[in-house]
C-alpha cells in the first residue's frame, strides 16, 4: 500500500531530528580530531560512515528543501519544491550512490555593478542534497587545517571578524600607519579553477571523490555538454571548494614572531609562531606590507601560487595603497587618519547598491504601499546591521530617507484633504521608524579566536559567542531558555537559524510570556502557523467560489 501525503507529513514531523544532529556532529568532531593528527586512514573510515548514514541523508534533505533561503529555486528538472512524500522518495533514491552522476546545471546570469553578468549554475534538488552530504564530510577536514587568515564561508566566522583583524593590523601604533595594503581579486575564480589540482587537495575516499569530480564537470543547459574547468558557483559546496583550492595563499607573506626577552636580554624569533599578514575572504584578499618591504616580491609569490591552480589576478581590482590613502574591502572603506587612528565607514559602492535597491522596491507596483515600506524596512535594517560597527556619521543617509518620504507623499497626493492629513501623520511615523533609532559603535565587536572551530566541541565558547550576535527581545529570550530551543530542547549550534515565535500567532503582542526562541525547522511545525495557513487557504477558496 502506497503511503499517503497526510501520513508522510506525520512521519516527517516525528523523525528523530535531535538524534540525527547529535549523530552527525559526533562523527564530524571525530573527523576533525583525526585530521588534526593526520590519521588519514581513520578520516576516510569516518567519512564512509557519515556518507552512508541515514541521519546525514535526512538532514541534507531538510536543509535543502526547508531551511536554505534558495530552497524554492528550480534546476533543469523544473522542481522547485518537494512535499513530505516526495522528500521520502528522494531519501530512497539516495540509498545507492555508487555510480552517481551530477545532472547538468541550469544557467542563470546575475547582473554585476560594472555592467557585466555573473554566471550562476543552479543544480537540481537531488544534486544539491548530494552536495550537502559531501559538505558534511569535507567541512570538518578543512576546518582542521584552515589558515588563521581564511575567513570567508566558514562556520562561526563572519565579515565582522575580518574587520577586527584589519583593526588589529592598522590600529594606533608608532609604525602601523606607515603600512601599505595590497588589495586584489582573482579573475573568474569559480570559472577557472584547475580540476586536477583541486581534486588532489580534497581529502575524500575514492567513491566520494568521483561525486565531486562529477559535480565539477557538470554541463550547462543549452550551452555545452560538459565543462572542464568550471566550478558550479550556484552549488552548496562551491564556496568550500574555493576555500580548499586557495588554502595557503593568505600565509605566503607571514613572518615569524619577534620579541624582546628580558631574561636573555636579546630579541627572540619564534618561527613556530607566525604573524598573520594576509586576510582572505573567499577570493577577495588583502596583504599588509611594511614600509621597507618589496611589494613586487609578494606579487611574484601570489602569481606563482595561482598559476598552479590555473588562476590569475584581476588587474583592474588590484591596488597597492598606503593606509593613509584608504582602501575598500567587503563593503567598507578603511582609512588611517592624520592622528594615526583607523576609521571605517560603508563604501560608496555598497551605499549606492542599498539606495538603488530601496528605490527599485518603492517603484515596484506589484505590491501595495504598505508592503513596499515593509520591504524597505527589511533592506535598510539588514544594511544598517551589517555596518553597525562603522562610523556612520561620515556618510549622508538623510537623502534616501527624504527621497522615500517625498515618493510616498507623491503617491498620497490623490487622496482627499482628510485622508492626506492622516496619511501624512502615518508617513512621518513610518519613515522615522525605518530610518532612525539605530546605534553604531566603531570597532566594538569581539572577534572570534582564529584557531577556534565549531567542530572542536567547545559548546560553552560557541554558545556565548552565538548569544552576542543577538540583541533586544531575542537575546533576552535566549538567556531565559539557556540558549536551548524551546521545542526540541537542543542547544543552538553555530550556524543554526534562530527565530522568535509568538505563541498565540499575534505578532503585535510582544510580551515575554508570548515569545519563544526556536530553530527555523522547529518553527515551521508550530500548530498555530498551520491553523493560520489553513484559514488563509479557506478564505482564498471562498473568494474563488
pLDDT at 539: 41
In DSSP notation, 228-284 reads SS---TTSSSHHHHHHHHHTTGGGTT-EEEEEEETTTTEEEEEEEEEEP-EEEETTE
pLDDT band at residue 300 under the 50/70/90 scheme: very high
pLDDT at 421: 76
Asked if the model's pLDDT at residue 360 lies above 50, the reply is yes
Q: Exposure pattern of 224-241 as b/e (b: 16+ CB <10 Å)?
A: eeebeebbbbbbbbbbbb
Task: Give the burial class of 137: count Cβ atoms within 10 A of its Cβ; 0-12 exposed, 13-18 middle, 19 or more buried.
Answer: buried
Q: What is the pTM of this model?
A: 0.85
pLDDT at 268: 63
Asked if the model's pLDDT at residue 279 lies above 90, the reply is yes
pLDDT band at residue 100 under the 50/70/90 scheme: confident
DSSP state of 219: -
Q: Give the count of beta carbons closer than 10 Å to the beta carbon of residue 58.
A: 20
Q: What is the mean pLDDT of residues 247-265?
A: 76
Asked if the model's pLDDT at residue 302 lies above 80, the reply is yes
> Which range is most confident: 132-141, 198-207, 416-425, 450-459?
132-141
Q: Give the count of beta carbons closer than 10 Å to the beta carbon of residue 176.
A: 18
Q: How far is CA 4 from CA 57, 66, 83, 214, in A?
A: 22, 20, 11, 35
Asked if the model's pLDDT at residue 460 lies above 50, the reply is yes
List the one residue out of 254, 287, 260, 246 whose CA is nearest residue 273. Answer: 254
pLDDT at 275: 81
Q: What is the mean pLDDT of residues 511-536?
A: 70
pLDDT band at residue 266 under the 50/70/90 scheme: low
pLDDT band at residue 271 under the 50/70/90 scheme: low
Cell of 441: 559603535
Distance separating alpha carbons of residues 471 and 489, to the nearest angstrom: 21
Is 427:413 a contact under the CB 8 Å cutoff?
A: no
Q: What is the mean pLDDT of residues 99-112?
A: 79
More confident: 507 or 147: 147
Q: How far is CA 243 from CA 139, 217, 247, in A?
A: 10, 19, 6
Percent of the residues in the chain that have a pLDDT greater than 70, as a whole number: 87
Please write the tens of the pLDDT for every residue from 168-190.
888 866 566 788 999 988 887 77
Please write the tens of the pLDDT for every residue from 122-167.
888 898 899 999 999 999 999 999 999 999 888 888 899 999 999 9
Rounded-to-10 torsion of CA 396, 401, 403, 407: 170
pLDDT band at residue 28 under the 50/70/90 scheme: very high
pLDDT band at residue 538 under the 50/70/90 scheme: very low
pLDDT band at residue 25 under the 50/70/90 scheme: very high
Among the listed ranges 18-27, 290-299, 339-348, 513-522, which one has the minimum average pLDDT value? 513-522
pLDDT band at residue 262 under the 50/70/90 scheme: low
Counting Cα atoms < 13 Å in the Cβ hemisphere of 381 gives 11
> Which range is most confident: 180-184, 511-515, 526-530?
180-184
Q: What is the mean pLDDT of residues 415-427?
A: 76
Helix, strand, or coil (residue 84)? helix
Distance separating alpha carbons of residues 214 and 487, to the nearest angstrom: 39
Asked if the model's pLDDT at residue 110 lies above 80, the reply is no
List the one residue out of 288, 313, 294 whose CA is nearest residue 181. Answer: 288
Amino acid at each position: 500500500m502506497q503511503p499517503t501525503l497526510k501520513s508522510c507529513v506525520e512521519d516527517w514531523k516525528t523523525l528523530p531530528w535531535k538524534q540525527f544532529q547529535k549523530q552527525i556532529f559526533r562523527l564530524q568532531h571525530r573527523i576533525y580530531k583525526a585530521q588534526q593528527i593526520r590519521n588519514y586512514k581513520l578520516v576516510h573510515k569516518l567519512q564512509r560512515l557519515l556518507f552512508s548514514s541515514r541521519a546525514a541523508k535526512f538532514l541534507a534533505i531538510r536543509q535543502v528543501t526547508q531551511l536554505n533561503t534558495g530552497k524554492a529555486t528550480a534546476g533543469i528538472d523544473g522542481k522547485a519544491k518537494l512535499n513530505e512524500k516526495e522528500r521520502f522518495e528522494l531519501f530512497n533514491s539516495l540509498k545507492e550512490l555508487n555510480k552517481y552522476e551530477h545532472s547538468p546545471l541550469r544557467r542563470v546570469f546575475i547582473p554585476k555593478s560594472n555592467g557585466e553578468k555573473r554566471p550562476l549554475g543552479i543544480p537540481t534538488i537531488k544534486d544539491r542534497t548530494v552536495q550537502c552530504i559531501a559538505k558534511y564530510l569535507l567541512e570538518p577536514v578543512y576546518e582542521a587545517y584552515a589558515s588563521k587568515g581564511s575567513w570567508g564561508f566558514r562556520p562561526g566566522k563572519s565579515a565582522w571578524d575580518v574587520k577586527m583583524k584589519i583593526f588589529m593590523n592598522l590600529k594606533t601604533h608608532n609604525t602601523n600607519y606607515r603600512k601599505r595594503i595590497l588589495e586584489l581579486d582573482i579573475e573568474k575564480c569559480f570559472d577557472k579553477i584547475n580540476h586536477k589540482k583541486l581534486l588532489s587537495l580534497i581529502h575524500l575516499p575514492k567513491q566520494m571523490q568521483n561525486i565531486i569530480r562529477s559535480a565539477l564537470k557538470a554541463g550547462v543547459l543549452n550551452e555545452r555538454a560538459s565543462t572542464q574547468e568550471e566550478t558550479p558557483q550556484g552549488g552548496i559546496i562551491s564556496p568550500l571548494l574555493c576555500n580548499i583550492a586557495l588554502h595557503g595563499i593568505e600565509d605566503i607573506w607571514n613572518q615569524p614572531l619577534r620579541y624582546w626577552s628580558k631574561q636573555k636580554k636579546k630579541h627572540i624569533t619564534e618561527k613556530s609562531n607566525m604573524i598573520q599578514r594576509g586576510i582572505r575572504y573567499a577570493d577577495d584578499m588583502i596583504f599588509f606590507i611594511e614600509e621597507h618591504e618589496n611589494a613586487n616580491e609578494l606579487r611574484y609569490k601570489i602569481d606563482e601560487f595561482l598559476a598552479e591552480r590555473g588562476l590569475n589576478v584581476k588587474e583592474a581590482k588590484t591596488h597597492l595603497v598606503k593606509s593613509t590613502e584608504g582602501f575598500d574591502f567587503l563593503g567598507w572603506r578603511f582609512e588611517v587618519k592624520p592622528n594615526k587612528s583607523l576609521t571605517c565607514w560603508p563604501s560608496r559602492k555598497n551605499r549606492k547598491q542599498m539606495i538603488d535597491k530601496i528605490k527599485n522596491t518603492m517603484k515596484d507596483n506589484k505590491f501595495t504601499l504598505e508592503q513596499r515600506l515593509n520591504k524597505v524596512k527589511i533592506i535598510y535594517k539588514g544594511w544598517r546591521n551589517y555596518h553597525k560597527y562603522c562610523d556612520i556619521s561620515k556618510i549622508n543617509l538623510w537623502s534616501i530617507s527624504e527621497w522615500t518620504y517625498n515618493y510616498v507623499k507623491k503617491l498620497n497626493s490623490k487622496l482627499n484633504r482628510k485622508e492626506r492629513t492622516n496619511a501624512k501623520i502615518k508617513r512621518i511615523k513610518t519613515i522615522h521608524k525605518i530610518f532612525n533609532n539605530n546605534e553604531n559603535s566603531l570597532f566594538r565587536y569581539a572577534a572570534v579566536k582564529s584557531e577556534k572551530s565549531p567542530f572542536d566541541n567547545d559548546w560553552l565558547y560557541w554558545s556565548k559567542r552565538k548569544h552576542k550576535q543577538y540583541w533586544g527581545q531575542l537575546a533576552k529570550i535566549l538567556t531565559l531558555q539557556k540558549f536551548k530551543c524551546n521545542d526540541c530542547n537542543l542547544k543552538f549550534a553555530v550556524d543554526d537559524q534562530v527565530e522568535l515565535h509568538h505563541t498565540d500567532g499575534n505578532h503585535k503582542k510582544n510580551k515575554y510570556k508570548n515569545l519563544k526562541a526556536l530553530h527555523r525547522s522547529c518553527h515551521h511545525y508550530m500548530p498555530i502557523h498551520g491553523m493560520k495557513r489553513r484559514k488563509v487557504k479557506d478564505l482564498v477558496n471562498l473568494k474563488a467560489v
